[in-house]
Structure 1
Amino acid sequence: MEEKLKILVVDDDEVDRIAVRRALTKAGVEMELSEVGDGKSAIALLNNATSYDCVFLDYRLPDQDGLSLLQNLRSNNIRVPVVVLTGQGDDQIAVELMKAGASDYLSKSRLSSEILGQILRNTIRVHRAEMQVALANQQLRESNSLLIRKNQELEAQRRHIELQNLKLIEASRLKSQFLATMSHELRTPMNAIIGFSQLLLRPKCGELTDKQQDMIQRIFNNGKHLLMLLNEVLDFSKLEAGRLDLKPEIFDLSKLVNATVQEMRSLAEEKNLSLLIQIELQNLVVFNDPTRIRQILTNLLSNAIKFTESGSIAVELKEVPGNQVEIAVCDTGIGIAPADLENIFEAFRQVDQSTTRKYPGTGLGLPIIKALVQMMGGNITVESQLGQGSVFRIQLPRQISSSMQHGADGASNTHASAKKSFWKQENSRFAQEGLQNKSRDR
């Protein structure tokens, strides 16, 4: 062995100790050898000195036998490897010592440099392997204990998060209920303000000065704007609570688009914006909720007009694969930065969140649009570049399914039969009239 080993020989017979020393030297063992003649001295040395690599222990000592000494060592947690040296007829005792924790045993009658050197090397190799395994097991136990503590902490955190989630859900429910109640309550006086303002603006109510007419017109315009904001909050609270129902019917989509654009044309003309329509549909009839589609288109056009200072706004209506229709609103406005695109459909989220922002609003328009489109089984996408404008595309099924209506089950079958019959009549009529792709620019 190249390393220098620290070895202790415990034997009361000096001749036997010399024999062990010579055998180890002859075996080429580099060592620092210590010798004692009784068990008490061995215990004291092993307790106070640095660790030994191996102990050669004579079974028969003057103050105690080898078994007692070995038990004493183990009870004091001294894990040094022990090779027991026995005399004639002590083999059975040596086996008992092995069971008690001895590493190996050797009869003194068989003592030689080759055997002793081999036993020493094997003993040290096995002991070190056992120590590595014990260390690994200890580390494993510590890791396991750490994992158990971490799991307990994570479980506590999970329960805490679960509790917080329940509180947040309840807070959200209360918030939605509050918003719905307040929006509903505020709409009644707001409708009265708008109605009375409209009456005052009629000529039969009497002559008004220009200043009075301007003030009443402002009351009317701001009342309509506030009512629109209240309606947005009310719709959003209904969507959050799952209480907003679709009321589908069969209608001409091109007529609805044209009527909605005409309603928004005055706002576009105030900013000298061109408002165009392009319709490319073979079949103009759809089965959907016309009120909600009008709301979607109105919101998109309002945004387009709001964020466009010059240029034009176009509404495109066309067919897409999968028996769907697409409504696209294109503008030449300020555009949206790529980093903001993923956030524009979040509730109450606006690109400019400051109180001094140039463009007012609740930040609910696009979230409501997205929720309505998803209720209809469609999807909405946006393409935009800063300074060049935006394109919002909505693809909707030409005919929404009955599961999206949230209506009564008793009337659904009759409604479905009438709907199919109507579709056949309408498709036949359009085919007979030779309707082709229509393109309208207004």
Structure 2
Amino acid sequence: MSEEQFSILLVDDDEVDRLTVKRALKKAGLRALLIEAKKGAEAITKLQPSGNNLVPVPDTNYSSQTVDSTNHIFDLILLDYRLPDIDGLHLIAKIKELNLDLPLIVLTGQGDEELAVEIMKAGAADYLSKAKIEPKSLAKAIENAIRIHRAEQAVRLANQRLRASNELLVLKNQELERQQQQIKLQNIKLQESYNLKSEFLATMSHELRTPMNAIMGFSQLLLRQYPDPLTEQQQNLVRRIFNNSKSLLDMINEMLDFSKIEAGKLEVNSQKFDLNYLVKLTVEELRSLAIQKHLNLAVDIQLEDQFIIQDLNFVKRTLINLVSNAIKFTEAGEVKVKVWSTDETKVAISVTDTGIGIAPEDHEKIFQAFRQGDQSFTRKHSGTGLGLAITQSLVKMMGGKISLDSELGKGATFTVEIPRKYDV
């Protein structure tokens, strides 16, 4: 039996029947506070917050006691179907008009079972025959009605909260959809601007290459002292023209490659080639840069199988960018190129220098486009800042990765790892 104390409104015009109910509750040990009403109108009044005089039914030695219960809420109504002023159906309708959500058990006389069923259809929780009221059955009916009613209330409350949450989610989803539409429109505009920028870079780079090649070509003719010999001062000036033109052409080529990568117009063209030969050839092409700065340029190749299937131009461009960068940022010491197999499916190429090094906080930045370790206008080393960004893109396109190990003032090592065979 539940230890909870229930408040019950007992509506019955027969004093004997009311007494029977109270005795049954006492015998069943059900803790209850009763308010009695003899008529329907009186019951409606009792259901108002103002005039509830609750009568406790103690576990032992029943005694009537008046309790102030202003604003008390009932847990249950025990209702006699036949009242002097109103029948059960109309009373239930009036109770509903008060917006009271209470479980209700109908007490019927002999032969009122069909009417009781109609009342249950109208909203009653259960019905009991007065002639068959027993302590256990009455207590069980009351507890079941209250328990089921509370469970239904909890379900309704949960459903209300769920509906409120759903409505809130719908509003949030609508707002998110609106924001997504705005983002899509902004992305479209950004993509258009991005494409225009890439096309502009590609067009300008292509157009600038023609006059730069002409300037370099004429400079080379002059350096050959054709048709007339040049003075030493004139040769020095022409060499400056040629060297600066070459630097500009390198920058233009970087811009052109970068614009092609951004536009997705650069594709991998895999072929089988001798990596050993390509590395040695590329290093020799760059050796003059090292000699000008009195740097030692070393090569260490440890390959059992020197043939790979990759994009030859991508590998060569990657090696050129890393070695030329190492030479550019190294004032004394050496630049070393090492090639080896990491396993049966991959090869690695590292370029190590004894140059200025790169601070740890700049390791990620230097792979960004137009970024260098020194971003100031007074930096010593010129360049577009695209070399490493292009290199990283080329390595990724080959299915590989590039890493950096460096500290400021202690040189740097760039390591590229690529598959032996490009996987289309």
Q: TM-score range by the shorter chain?
A: 0.7 to 0.9
Aligned counterpart, 1:385: 406
| 1:18-167 equivalent positions in 2, closer than 5 A | 18-48=19-49, 49-167=71-189
User: What is the CA-CA distance between 1:225 and the residue it aligns to?
Assistant: 1.9
Instruction: Give the 3 Å change call, closer, same or farther, for CA 352–74 of structure 1 in structure 2.
Output: farther
Return the offset for 1:246: 6.0
1:338-353 map, 5 Å: 340-342=362-364, 344-353=366-375
Task: Tell me the residue number matched to 1:433.
Answer: none
Distance 1:242 1:269 in 2: 37
Shift of 1:178: 1.4
* Aligned-partner residue type, residue 227 of structure 1: L
For residues 269-348 of structure 1, the aligned pairs below 5 Å read 269-280=291-302, 291-318=313-340, 322=344, 326-337=348-359, 340-342=362-364, 344-348=366-370
Is 1:182 equivalent to 2:204 in the alignment? yes
SS at match of 2:79: strand
The verdict on how the C-alpha distance between 1:24 and 1:248 changes in structure 2, with shifts beyond 3 A counting, is closer
- 2:249 equivalent to 1:227: yes
Q: Does 1:4 align with 2:26?
A: no
Aligned-partner Cα distance in 2 for 1:339–1:113: 82
8 Å CA contact retained: 2:395, 2:402 = no
58-67 vs 191-200, greater mean Cα deviation: 191-200
- The CA deviation at 1:259 is 4.4
Give distance in 2, aligned partners of 1:286 and 1:299: 20
Q: Alpha carbons of 1:50 and 1:262: their partners in 2 closer, same or farther (altered >3 Å)?
A: same
Contact 2:206/2:256 (8 A) holds in 1: yes
Query: CA 1:362/1:77 → structure 2, altered by over 3 Å: closer, same or farther?
Result: farther
Conserved in 2, the CA contact under 8 Å of 1:7 and 1:52? Answer: yes
Identify the match of residue 384 of structure 2 among 321, 338, 362: 362
Distance 1:88 1:353, change over 3 A: farther
1:173 corresponding residue in structure 2: 195
Quick one: which amino acid aligns to residue 244 of structure 1? L
1:39 counterpart letter in structure 2 = G
1:222-261 alignment, distance < 5 Å: 222-244=244-266, 256-261=278-283
Q: Which amino acid aligns with 1:146?
A: L
Alpha-carbon distance in 2 for matches of 1:400, 1:4: 80
Structure 1 residues 373 and 111: CA distance shift in structure 2, 3 A: closer
In structure 2, the CA distance between the partners of 1:150 and 1:229, relative to structure 1 (3 Å rule), is same
Whichever residue aligns with residue 36 of structure 2, its letter is E
Change (3 A) 1:229 1:24: same
| Contact 2:278/2:316, CA 8 A, preserved across alignment | yes
Query: Which SS does the other structure have where 1:78 is aligned?
Result: coil
**One-letter amino acid of the counterpart of residue 114, structure 2:** Q
When residues 285 and 11 of structure 1 are mapped into structure 2, their CA distance, relative to the original with a 3 A threshold, is closer
Deviation at 1:93, TM superposition (A): 0.8
Q: What amino acid maps onto 1:165 in structure 2?
A: N
Structure 1 Cα separation of the partners of residues 420 and 134 of structure 2: 100
Whether the aligned pair in 2 keeps the contact of 1:252 and 1:284 (CA below 8 Å) is: yes
Aligned amino acid, residue 5 of structure 2: K
Amino-acid identity (%): 53
Residues 202, 260 of structure 2: 8 Å contact kept: yes
Q: Which has the higher contact order (CA 8 A, sep 6+)?
A: 1
SS in 2 for 1:55: strand
Structure 1 segments unaligned to the other structure (5+ residues): 404-442
When residues 66 and 296 of structure 1 are mapped into structure 2, their CA distance, relative to the original with a 3 A threshold, is: same
- CA distance in 2 between counterparts of 1:94 and 1:300 reads 95
1: distance between equivalents of 2:216 and 2:182?
49
Change beyond 3 A, Cα 1:343–1:31: same
Unaligned runs of 5+ in 2: 50-70
1:57 Cα deviation from its structure 2 partner: 1.1
Please tell me the residue identity of whatever aligns with 1:5: F
Tell me, what secondary structure is at the counterpart of 1:179? helix
Contact 1:6 1:54 in 2 (8 A): yes
User: Tell me, what secondary structure is at the counterpart of 1:145?
Assistant: helix
SS in 1 for 2:139: helix
Tell me the TM-score normalized by structure 1.
0.75
In structure 2, the partner of 1:430 is none
Cα 1:62–1:316 change in 2 (3 A) is same
Q: CA RMSD in A?
A: 3.6
Pairing 1:195-214 to 2, within 5 Å after superposition? 195-198=217-220, 203=225, 210=233
Deviations 1:25-58 (A, max 9, x none): 4444433322233333433443544421111112
Q: TM-score, normalised by structure 2?
A: 0.78
Partner SS for 1:116: helix
Tell me the number of residue pairs that the alignment of Structure 1 and Structure 2 aligns: 400
DSSP 3-state at the match of 1:330: strand
Offset at residue 271 of structure 1 (A): 3.7
Shift of 1:123: 2.1
Higher relative helix content? 1
Shift of 1:318: 4.8
